[in-house]
């Protein structure tokens, strides 16, 4: 699974499954979405839990949680007390974001004829949050990972919610799965909630 799943209810469901089945061993690999896709394609994983967006694949895909991208940064980056920020206001900020999102988000700004200045690229939500907490810039990140203990850091909705980032389970139904892996996959699918992450 990708690291940003760790603080969601999906990880809690996996833990619940482990408690219900004390005879199994969980073997969890944590990496970024594209590394997970490579491993699934190489059949070194039974299934993976990743975050959209990514290039479409031939794998079966089931949405576990719907989410969205928010802007996180020090209060000093935001001049007003509104709970949201417009794209025009965001275009004036130094941006921190996932490396793999740069083309998608940068392209969106370009199509809307807005500037887009990236000051930090990385591969992990925790890294984006850390540099936002350090005042390097405004992180564009999943709302599920946008929780800071720093009272000087705020999370702003982006008006129009232009980017979604769902957590999805990917698997290949033509590949053999051990019964315990099928049971966990089916448990996650049966207990999923498709409400947005708040």
| pLDDT tens, residue by residue, 49-65 | 998 887 778 899 999 98
State pTM to two decimals: 0.79
Q: Which residues of the chain have pLDDT under 50?
A: 194-198
Q: Where are the beta strands (DSSP E) in 88-136?
A: 94-98, 117-122
pLDDT at 49: 93
- Picking from 138, 104, 100, 134, the residue whose alpha carbon sits closest to that of residue 118 is 138
pLDDT at 198: 43
| Longest Cα separation, the chain | 57
To the nearest 10 degrees (0 to 180), the angle between helices 9-20 and 179-190 is 130
* Separation CA 58–CA 39 (nearest Å): 14
pLDDT at 193: 56
- Picking from 6, 43, 52, 31, the residue whose alpha carbon sits closest to that of residue 147 is 6
């Amino acid at each position: 699974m990708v690291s940003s799943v760790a603080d969601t209810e999906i990880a809690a469901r996996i833990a619940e499954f482990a408690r219900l089945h004390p005879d199994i061993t969980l073997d969890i690999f944590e990496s970024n979405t594209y590394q997970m896709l490579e491993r699934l394609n190489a059949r070194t994983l039974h299934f993976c839990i990743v975050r959209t967006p990514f290039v479409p694949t031939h794998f079966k895909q089931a949405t576990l949680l719907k989410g969205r991208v928010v802007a996180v940064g020090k209060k000093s980056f935001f001049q007003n007390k509104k709970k949201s920020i417009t794209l025009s206001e965001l275009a004036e900020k130094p941006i921190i974001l996932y490396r793999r999102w740069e083309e998608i988000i940068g392209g969106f700004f370009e199509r809307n004829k807005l500037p887009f200045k990236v000051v930090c690229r990385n591969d992990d939500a925790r890294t984006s949050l850390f540099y936002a907490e350090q005042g390097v810039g405004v992180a564009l990140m999943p709302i599920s990972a946008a929780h800071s203990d720093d009272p000087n850091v705020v999370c702003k909705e982006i008006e129009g919610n232009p980017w979604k980032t769902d957590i999805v389970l990917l698997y290949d139904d033509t590949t053999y799965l051990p019964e315990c892996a099928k049971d966990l996959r089916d448990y996650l699918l049966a207990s999923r909630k498709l409400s947005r992450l708040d």
